[in-house]
């Protein structure tokens, strides 16, 4: 959906530029300005309003189960070293509490979907039905490269935390 809106915005930009280019005549500058002013206003509207209202997801409040008190937590992952339990939220499968002995491996990954760069950790666990769980790191808006780098730094920090917590050598 967002890709179609971006394509429509690019087409509207091209049409405005063509309109201004066609309306330029050295002997008739009034016609040029009559096309330039509304086109500039329209382009500012379709390019600056989406920047002001970025599509960052609101943070979902988490109510952990009784007895789970994480010492460190993020939007989609939390760790309680006292109980040796890791809580994860997968965008497809939902929430799950994972014991340390059930974590088989983990790896970092990223992909490009719908115009955003998504950072994630993939956990492979000892479960026959759902062996792979994904934890997304989307706290910062992905519209700017710097914000996307913040998501990557948080992902790498959590990956190091999981590696230290599990003590597994199969993490990559």
- In a domain, residue 58? The reply is no
* 3-state SS assignment for residue 96: strand
Q: What is the pLDDT of residue 169?
A: 65
- In a domain, residue 61? The reply is no
**32-42: per-residue pLDDT in tens?**
888 888 888 88
Task: Please give the tally of structural domains in the chain.
Answer: 2
- In a domain, residue 62? The reply is no
Cα dihedral 19, 24, 28, 30, rounded to 10, equals: 50
Q: What is the CATH number of the domain that holds 81?
A: 2.30.29
* pLDDT value at 171 more than 60: no
Q: What is the pLDDT of residue 118?
A: 81
Q: What is the pLDDT of residue 159?
A: 93
Q: Which two tokens stand for residue 93?
A: 């499968």
Q: Which two tokens stand for residue 151?
A: 């998501």
Q: Which domain holds residue 33?
A: 2-52
- Looking at the fold, whether 8 and 41 belong to one and the same domain comes out as yes
- Looking at the fold, whether 79 and 161 belong to one and the same domain comes out as yes
- In a domain, residue 64? The reply is no
- Looking at the fold, whether 98 and 156 belong to one and the same domain comes out as yes
Q: How far is CA 86 from CA 80, 127, 161, in A?
A: 6, 15, 11
H helices present in 60-144, as ranges: none
Beta carbons of 108 and 155 less than 8 angstroms apart: yes
**103-147: per-residue pLDDT in tens?**
999 999 888 766 667 889 999 999 999 999 999 988 876 655 566
- Looking at the fold, whether 119 and 153 belong to one and the same domain comes out as yes
- Looking at the fold, whether 19 and 98 belong to one and the same domain comes out as no
- Looking at the fold, whether 41 and 90 belong to one and the same domain comes out as no
Q: Which two tokens stand for residue 161?
A: 């935390």
- Looking at the fold, whether 152 and 94 belong to one and the same domain comes out as yes
**pLDDT bucket at 172, cuts 50 / 70 / 90:** low
Q: What is the pLDDT of residue 110?
A: 84
Q: How far apart are the C-alpha atoms of 60 and 75, rounded to whole Å?
A: 7
- In a domain, residue 35? The reply is yes
The answer to whether the pTM exceeds 0.85 is no
**69-102: per-residue pLDDT in tens?**
899 999 899 999 889 999 999 988 999 999 999 9
- In a domain, residue 132? The reply is yes
Q: What is the pLDDT of residue 119?
A: 87
Bridge partners, residue 166, by sequence: none
- In a domain, residue 90? The reply is yes
Q: How far apart are the C-alpha atoms of 142 and 119, rounded to whole Å?
A: 10
Dmax of the chain from CA atoms? Answer: 80
- In a domain, residue 63? The reply is no
């Amino acid at each position: 959906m967002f890709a179609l809106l971006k394509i429509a915005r690019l087409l509207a930009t091209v049409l405005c530029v063509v309109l201004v280019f066609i309306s330029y005549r050295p002997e008739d500058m009034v016609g040029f300005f009559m096309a330039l002013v509304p086109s500039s206003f329209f382009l500012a509207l379709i390019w600056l309003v989406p920047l002001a209202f970025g599509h960052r997801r609101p943070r979902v409040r988490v109510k952990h189960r009784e007895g789970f008190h994480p010492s460190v937590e993020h939007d989609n992952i939390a760790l309680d070293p006292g109980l040796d339990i890791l809580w994860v939220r997968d965008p497809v499968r939902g929430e799950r509490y994972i014991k340390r002995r059930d974590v088989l491996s983990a790896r970092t990954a990223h992909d490009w979907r719908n115009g955003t760069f998504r950072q994630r950790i993939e956990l492979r666990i000892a479960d026959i039905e759902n062996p792979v769980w994904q934890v997304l790191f989307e706290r910062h808006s992905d519209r700017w490269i710097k914000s996307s780098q913040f998501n990557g730094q948080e992902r790498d920090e959590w990956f190091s935390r999981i590696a230290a917590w599990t003590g597994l050598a199969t993490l990559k």
